[in-house]
Amino acid sequence: MKRIASLSAVGLRQRSAWPVFALIVVLIVVLGFLAPGILSVRNLLNIVNQQTSLIAVTIGQALVVLTGGLDLSVGSVVSLTTAIVSLDAPWAVPLAIAVAFLTGCVNAFGIIRFKVHPILMTLSSMTALQGIALLVRPIPGGRVPAWLSDYASGTLFDIPLPAILAVVVVIAASWMVTRSRFGLHLLATGGSPDNARLGGIDSNMIIAAAYILSSLFACAGGLNLAGRLASGGPLVGAQFAIDSVAATALGGTLLSGGLGGISGPVAGVIFLALLANGLNFLNISTYYQMIIKGVLLIAAVSVHRRKSPGL
């Protein structure tokens, strides 16, 4: 057990998130010259507020990636969540949470019990959930509970409530990964499931917990998004899967598992948001923005390669 703990600690130190923070600093300097208004406190708070849903989804995605998996169903969970809560019924929010929990259980069961590859398993659930979202809400519309809209538009000391909640959740998730027993087991499982089992860790339970948490975080992101939109949309979460993977990779989390954390992926979200904001200000076409994002993802995946088992 001590050996697994030491390997995980060493891995965390070796795989830091400093590159994405360095990129953010460079981007801030560039934007400071080209578009100073983007760096105003109000605009930065707006950016964080707008990215709260993606931050939630990315945290869940990072937990799965740390185990060596990938969750492509998060975008459909976001879409289905907004579709369900837009029915504006007393049972809508509990039902959305229950559906997300069930999705995580199904993903975990297929991956653990039937050894389906995570990409294939979550791709299948993504497709099924997308179909259900279209059945529930064929076109954007509906109305969400009033309290959800009030929360999404609310402020505390002129700071948006979603931004405050995002900061609290990021701190809690970072502590969970870096300081708790669960986080240690998560990293050990991603580094080497066999070694983790030899160390007395129930790797299957850790993997199951990661996929369930991923779906629940995606549901939280969907609830926040539904509150912001004050309606539901069957396709509003389509981009969340690729964006959460891109942010996680840019944040220094190894896609093969075992090395990384939460602060890096969240910084990846902020970097992508600042980049998009700056490119929009400079009137760069959306198509070119997609190309830039793809190139950044390829670069991040190429740089973060496992050099040896468990490292």
Mean pLDDT of the chain: 89
- Share of residues in the chain with pLDDT > 90 (%): 65
156 DSSP β-pair partners: 159
- Give this prediction's pTM: 0.92
Of 7-21, 134-148, 270-284, the one with minimum mean pLDDT is: 7-21
Task: Categorize the per-residue pLDDT at 135 as very low, low, confident or very high, splitting at 50, 70 and 90.
Answer: very high
Residue 159 backbone phi and psi in degrees, to 5: -105, 130
Please give the average per-residue pLDDT across 59-67, as a whole number.
Answer: 97
Helices 240-250 and 263-281: crossing angle in degrees, nearest 10, is 110
pLDDT digits (tens, 9 = 90+) for 79-113: 999 999 999 899 999 999 999 999 999 999 999 99
pLDDT digits (tens, 9 = 90+) for 277-304: 888 888 888 888 888 878 877 877 776 6
How far apart are alpha carbons 55 and 245 in whole angstroms? 11
C-alpha distances (whole Å) from 287 to each of 13, 239, 248, 276, 284 are: 37, 14, 22, 12, 8
Residues 6+ apart with CB under 8 A from 234: 79, 80, 83, 130, 133, 134, 136, 137, 138, 139, 140
pLDDT at residue 16 greater than cutoff 90? no
Q: For residue 156, give the 3-state DSSP assignment.
A: strand
Question: From 2.40.30, 1.10.10, 1.10.3470, 1.25.40, which CATH number describes the 2-303 domain?
Answer: 1.10.3470
Residues 6+ apart with CB under 8 A from 225: 53, 78, 81, 82, 236, 237
Q: What residue spans define the domains of the chain?
A: 2-303
pLDDT digits (tens, 9 = 90+) for 142-163: 999 999 999 999 999 889 999 9
List the structure tokens of 75.
Answer: 């975008």
Please give the average per-residue pLDDT across 175-183, as a whole number.
Answer: 92
Q: Residue 101: what residue type?
A: F
